[in-house]
Copies of this chain bind each other. A is one copy, B any other.
Amino acid sequence: MNLKQLSKNLGLSQTTVSRALNGYPEVSEATRNRVRLAADQYNYSPSTRAKGLATGKALAIGHVIPLSSQHEVVNPIFADFIAGAGETYARNGYEMTLTMVEDTQEESIYRGMHSRRSVDGVVVHSPRMNDTRIPLLNEIGLPFVVHGRATGATAPYSWLDVNNKRAFHRAAKFLIDLGHRRIGLINGLEDMDFAHRRRTGYQDALRENGIKIDPTLMRSGEMTENFGHRYTRELLALPNPPTAIMTSSLISAMGARRAIEDAGLVMGRDVSVITHDDVLSYLGNGDDVPIYTATRSSVREAGRQLAEMLLTEIESPHRGTQNVLLEAELMVGQSTGPAPKI
A interface residues with partner B (beta carbon < 8 Å): 1, 43-50, 52-53, 58, 60, 65, 67, 71-76, 78-80, 82-83, 86-87, 90, 95-101, 111-112, 115-118, 222-226, 229-230, 251, 254, 258, 261, 280-284, 286-287, 291
Contact = CB atoms under 8 A, between A and B. Distances in A.
A187 B297 CA distance: 29
11 contacts: A43-B111, A47-B118, A48-B118, A53-B53, A74-B280, A86-B98, A90-B100, A96-B97, A222-B282, A223-B282, A226-B286
A76 B74 contact: no
A90 B74 CA distance: 16
A302 to B, nearest CB: 14
Nearest to A303: B100
Chain A interface, DSSP helix/strand/loop, else mixed: mixed
Nearest to A53: B49
B226 A287 contact: yes
B76 A282 contact: yes
Contact of A50 (B48, B53, B80, B223): B53
Contacts of A225: 282-284
A87 to B, nearest CB: 7
A264 to B, nearest CB: 12
Q: Can you tell how many copies of this chain the complex includes?
A: 2
A227 B83 CA distance: 21
A86 to B, nearest CB: 4
A205 B60 CA distance: 50
B261 A261 contact: yes
Nearest to A78: B79
Contacts of A43: 111, 115
Nearest to A87: B100
A83 B72 CA distance: 10
Contacts of A48: 49, 116-118
Contacts of A115: 1, 43-45
B99 A98 contact: no
Nearest to A258: B291
A238 B51 CA distance: 61
A50 to B, nearest CB: 6
B116 A98 contact: no
Contact of A251 (B86, B100, B222, B283): B283
Contacts of A71: 281
Contacts of A44: 115
B98 A82 contact: yes
A203 to B, nearest CB: 26
A36 to B, nearest CB: 15
Given A47-B117, A67-B83, A87-B100, A73 B281 contact: yes
B101 A98 contact: no
A284 B221 CA distance: 14
Nearest to A95: B97
A63 B111 CA distance: 24
Given A74-B83, A99-B90, A230-B287, A53 B47 contact: yes
Q: Which of A49, A101, A280 has the most CB of B within 10 A?
A: A49
A90 B87 CA distance: 25
A65 B226 CA distance: 28
